[in-house]
Structures are given as structure tokens and as C-alpha cells.
């Protein structure tokens, strides 16, 4: 079922009104937004409190309205860093999808991001997440690793160096 897109300005005003003391039910009828929608956005803004306790007005600009869609594990910036990392690793060594998913999990641990339980259980990103990641980043093209007669170029050293460069940014 499709839900209608709501004007973010109206949602911000409704959440700000609730934070300023208007009840959920009253805000729902005033702004003509379902209570469940307002409840979701109010929970996303729990940390907002009025600046001055005497005048409980909340600045509308401080209210965050989450985008419609699924929550992602990484931000767009983090995904672009991961994409670059996977491209470099793939160019040097070749990666299977399992190795790429494992590297995504290691990146989650490295930057301390909340990930689904299954990632921690399996110690790799989920298959569905990886499919979606590849769809979001069509330029990422994984190739099968090929045997070389070089001394495997110390893979651990490569990743340590790469993480130190990413951390420095």
C-alpha cells in the first residue's frame, strides 16, 4: 500500500507543536496527519526540548523528519567509502561476494555502526543488503580472484593501511 507523501514543513510544524505541549490527538486533527505518523516522527525527535522552559516553543528547524523508505546501515558517505574500498580491494586481489560481505561487516565493526543481528551472527553482511548495495552502486563490479605467483602481497597489511587512510580523512 502506498502512503501519501506529506509536506515536510507541515510534519515539522506538527512535531514542534507536540514538543511545545500540544497533545498527539490535537496535533493530528489540527494538521490532518494520522496519529501513527506523528508518533513515529515524535519518537525520532525525543531529544528535542524547548530552549526556554518558560516559553515551551520549539524551533521548527531543529525538528528532523526522516525520509520515507527503509533505514540503511550506512550513511551515503560511509557507503561511498565502502564502495571505493571494495573497488581497490577488487582491483588488487579480486573479491567474491562473500568476501565483500565480510569486508562490509568488518567496516561496520571498525566505524561502530549499528547493524542487524544476523550480521554479527554470521560475521558478514546479509545477502539482501549486498544485492541492494550493488544496485545502489552499479559501477562496483566484483571479479573472481585469480591465482598469482606473487607472495599474496600481505592482504592484512593492505587493509590496515587502507583503514588508516580512511580514518585519517
Three-state DSSP state, 52: strand
Whether residue 143 contacts residue 90, with contact meaning beta carbons closer than 8 Å, is answered with: yes
Three-state DSSP state, 106: helix
Q: How far apart are the first and last CA of the chain?
A: 42
* Spatial separation of the C-alpha atoms in residues 68 and 3, rounded to whole Å: 10
pLDDT at residue 101, as a whole number: 94
Confidence tier at 143 by pLDDT (50, 70, 90)? confident
Q: What is the DSSP letter of 60?
A: G
Each residue's pLDDT tens digit, 16-31: 888 788 888 999 999 9
CA distances from 140 to 17, 21, 55, 85, 131 (A): 45, 49, 53, 10, 11
pLDDT at residue 54, as a whole number: 53
Each residue's pLDDT tens digit, 37-74: 888 877 776 655 444 455 456 666 666 666 555 667 88
- Cβ neighbour number for residue 128 with a 10 Å cutoff: 9
Amino acid at each position: 500500500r502506498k502512503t501519501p507523501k506529506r509536506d515536510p514543513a507541515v510534519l515539522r510544524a506538527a512535531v514542534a507543536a507536540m514538543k511545545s505541549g500540544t497533545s498527539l490527538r490535537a496535533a493530528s486533527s489540527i494538521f490532518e496527519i494520522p496519529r501513527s505518523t506523528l508518533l513515529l516522527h515524535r519518537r525520532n525527535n525525543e531529544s528535542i526540548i524547548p530552549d526556554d522552559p518558560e516559553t515551551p516553543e520549539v524551533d521548527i528547524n531543529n525538528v528532523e523528519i526522516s525520509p520515507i523508505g527503509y533505514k540503511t546501515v550506512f550513511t551515503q558517505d560511509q557507503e561511498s567509502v565502502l564502495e571505493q574500498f571494495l573497488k581497490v580491494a577488487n582491483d588488487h586481489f579480486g573479491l567474491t561476494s562473500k568476501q565483500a560481505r565480510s569486508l562490509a561487516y568488518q567496516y561496520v565493526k571498525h566505524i561502530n555502526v549499528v547493524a542487524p543481528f544476523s550480521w554479527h551472527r554470521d560475521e558478514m553482511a546479509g545477502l539482501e543488503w549486498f544485492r541492494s548495495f550493488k544496485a545502489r552502486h552499479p559501477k562496483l563490479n566484483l571479479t573472481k580472484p585469480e591465482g598469482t605467483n606473487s607472495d599474496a602481497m600481505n592482504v592484512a597489511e593492505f587493509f590496515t593501511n587502507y583503514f588508516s587512510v580512511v580514518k585519517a580523512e
